[in-house]
A and B are shown apart, each in its own frame.
Chain A
Amino acid sequence: MPNLKELKNRISSVKSTRKITSAMKMVAASKLRRAQELAESSRVYADSLSFILSSLAGNTKNSADLPEILTGRENSKISLLIINSSDRGLCGGFNSNLFRNAKKWISDQQGQGKSVKIMTVGKKASSFYKKTDLDIVASFEDLNSNDRQLQVSEEIKNKIMKLFENNEIDEVSILFNKFVSAISQEPTYQSLIPLSNEETSEGESEANNAIFEFEPDKNELLEYLVPRNFLTQIYRSVLESSASEHAARMTSMDNATRNAGDMIDRLTLTYNRTRQAFITKELIEIISGAEAV
């Protein structure tokens, strides 16, 4: 028979766990709102920029005229994967989904005869990939605590531009959890070098219709635009990832709160039954004692 005191302790500890998870859920919900707003308001800039880029690239007939950093190198050998994880845990399958997905991608790339380098964003990814034998070129941590997203995106951009110029990498992709809705996030790849076709085809029909004049000439403009575009894409993925993180945490903490509630119910039932059993047992003892006399 379970000990009454033990049961009582257990109930109170589950109760305090429930308090914590429900508080975390509420914090995540309010942070989610902010992150979502930020992600949405940054979309305008990103869309306009990719529109300009696509009208620039679309206007150039010969793709050989475009810089390498836009079209990518022929027979690329080394690809870089930027993995956007979270800094903190307790957010359900947010990180493990991502890592599982990345593993598949990496073995795909290796199957094609490319070597893979990793750049990690967030503490979870850096501690996970430290244990693997993959080549980590850089790690960035602590993004969301002080609104450092833009600054860190800038650092990432500078790093990949430098690596590309030094021929240390030929391709760059970004992996992040795309924010679909508050209950669903999906791991998404986006190719930075070469620039993904999706991105260029988005406004292409419209972009080709309007013939823009460019000032200064295209190449100079591209020189300015390409790094800008990297920055915006990275920044966008960081924001999406942070919105997804809060959403994932909110749902998983909601589940945890509900589970804790169920557990408390069950434990309370057991507690009451046990107590009743004790009372009955005592009564029986008293009565049978009295009868014996």
Chain B
Amino acid sequence: MINLKVVSPQKVIFEKEVEMAVLPGAEGDFAAMPNHSPFISSLRPGQMAIMSSNKVDESFFVSGGLVMLKEKVCEVLVDQIEPLSDVNSSNYQQSKTYQELEGNETALGTFEQVVNNPPYK
């Protein structure tokens, strides 16, 4: 298990033990698992998935940020984060994240594509 800590500029959003977390790194998705080599990366907008035994337990949309990975700790400094299901609902066009990121190409396509068709299901 690895300690996943998600922090925004205002507060600690959550902190819990997870088996694996998949994060949208600037140069490609990567999985944070225990005993990963020390690693720092920036994040592109995309999906953050918390997984256990090959199933996605929880899914979030992150608008960008930083991640610091150590042996047993994974600290994610996010700009904005929302559960993907919230962004996914019909009113997501009104959401602030959406307005800021509209038309912003990510490696996986536009924000809309990530939301409508998340890479990890």
Contacts and interface: CB of A to CB of B under 8 A. Distances in A.
Interface stretch (B33-41, B49-57, B110-118): B33-41
Contacts of B26: 215-216, 220
Band of interface residues on A? 20 to 34
A231 interface: yes
B38 A210 contact: yes
Contact of A42 (B11, B38, B41, B70): B11
A128 interface: no
Interface residues of B, number: 20
Interface in A18-34: none
A48 B75 CA distance: 8
Contacts of A215: 25-27, 39-42
A56 B68 CA distance: 11
A231 B41 CA distance: 19
A228 interface: yes
A235 B40 contact: no
A160 interface: no
B41 A150 contact: no
A55 interface: yes
| B interface: dominant SS | strand
B9 A210 contact: no
B32 to A, nearest CB: 13
Contacts of B20: none
Interface string B73-104: 00101000000000000000000000000000
Contact of B7 (A38, A45, A220): A45
Contacts of A14: none
Contacts of B1: none
A239 B86 CA distance: 29
Given A213-B40, A214-B40, A215-B39, A52 B10 contact: no
Which among A42, A45, A150, A228 has the highest number of chain B CB atoms within 10 Å? Answer: A45
B12 A51 contact: no
A41 B39 contact: no
A41 B42 contact: no
B16 to A, nearest CB: 15
A211 B39 CA distance: 8
A44 interface: yes
Interface string A189-226: 00000000000000000000011111110001100110
B18 interface: no
Nearest to A46: B9
Given A213-B38, A215-B25, A225-B42, 4 more contacts: A38-B10, A45-B8, A48-B75, A216-B26
29 contacts: A38-B10, A41-B10, A41-B11, A41-B12, A42-B11, A44-B11, A44-B12, A45-B77, A48-B7, A51-B68, A52-B40, A52-B66, A150-B10, A210-B38, A211-B38, A212-B38, A212-B39, A212-B68, A213-B37, A213-B38, A213-B39, A215-B26, A215-B40, A216-B26, A216-B41, A221-B42, A224-B66, A225-B42, A232-B9
List 5 tightest A-B contacts by C-beta distance, closest first.
A41-B11, A215-B41, A212-B38, A210-B38, A212-B40
